[in-house]
Amino acid sequence: MWALLVNPISGSGKGAKVGSQVAQFLHSHQIDFSVVTGKSAQDMSSQLQAFIERYPTCSGVIGVGGDGLLHLALQILVPAQIPLAMIPAGTGNDFVRTLGWPLDDLYSYLNHIISRAPQAIDVGLSQGRWFGAILSTGFDSIVNEKANTMHWPKGPQKYNAAIAIELPRFKPRHYEIQLDDRLISTQAMLIAVANGRSYGGGMLVCPNASLHDGLFDVMVLHPVSKIEFLKVFPKVFKGTHIKHPAVEIIRSKNVAIRATAVAYADGERLGDTPLSAECVSGALHTWIP
């Protein structure tokens, strides 16, 4: 028995459309499954928990949605040790990008899921919450806070609009970052604690991050002028920003951040710093191309 976990409103309704396509595929391949959905994140979480209690040895969960649905599912499936496959139907889909799946080849992905065994990957744990891609604090979290209050524009353009609003008034903050082998005390514009490679719909903030090394890539953006920030920012989509002298990347299994700031993980609000995070090796089973 599989669970088909669908967020129907993800991607401005794309979740419902793709969920229907996945259901048709599973029917046509005579796969036993049950649709799990809900009217809210809390409702979907409750429905998924009920499914896992009913089928504790189920084959896995196929999630149709974005990184928000991933974050919801991880909180239940990692402790239960149930495999999770994420079908991209959200705005960013950064976890699927990190796994290496194309965003437009649904049926090859589904064939792989039903015919191959899942593999173990690392996930992050912070403040009792699991995350698959990236935990961040600093300018991007302030942008997230702003974007979450905006009703226009839709999709990724909302993030760009929030950048335009927040950058003129942004000031770097002081961070103390405790890593496995050192303490960094610095002014910074952004800290990214990366299990995956990208966030924000393909921004390769830590392009060399691995899901199999038991370590985070911790990216520190030291202060630059706002003009320099605007020059460097487009390079993040190719990952070439890491060559800039203001960008520092260190690998560490454990990270503790002390500052006066807010943090996000997988695009979901974690809360205020201080906080700590641990990279937990092999904690999630999923399908990799």
For 144, 149, 159, 162, 201, the CA distances from 153, given in Å and listed in that order, are 14, 11, 9, 10, 15
Name the E strands within 89-133: 119-126, 129-131
Q: What is the pLDDT of residues 4-24, one digit of tens each?
A: 999 988 877 788 999 999 999
Both tokens assigned to 62 = 């196929």
2-117, CATH topology level: Rossmann fold (3.40.50)
Q: Where in the chain is the domain with CATH 3.40.50.10330?
A: 2-117
Q: Where in the chain is the domain with CATH 2.60.200.40?
A: 131-282
Q: What is the pLDDT of residues 234-256, one digit of tens each?
A: 999 999 999 999 999 999 999 99
Cβ(75)–Cβ(16) below 8 Å: no
Cβ(97)–Cβ(202) below 8 Å: yes
Q: What is the pLDDT of residues 130-144, one digit of tens each?
A: 999 999 999 989 988
> Order of strands, edge to edge, in the sheet holding 84-88?
33-36, 2-6, 60-65, 84-88
Arithmetic mean of pLDDT, 186-192: 97
Q: What is the pLDDT of residues 158-179, one digit of tens each?
A: 778 888 899 999 999 999 999 9
With b meaning 16 or more CB within 10 Å and e meaning fewer, what string describes 150-183? eeeeeeeebbebbbeebeeebebbebebbbeeee
Q: Which residues contact 244 (CB under 8 A, 6 or more apart)?
A: 224, 232, 235
pTM (predicted TM-score): 0.93
Kindly indicate whether the domain formed by 131-282 is annotated with CATH number 3.20.20.70.
no
The closest alpha carbon to 47, from 35, 31, 58, 57, belongs to: 35
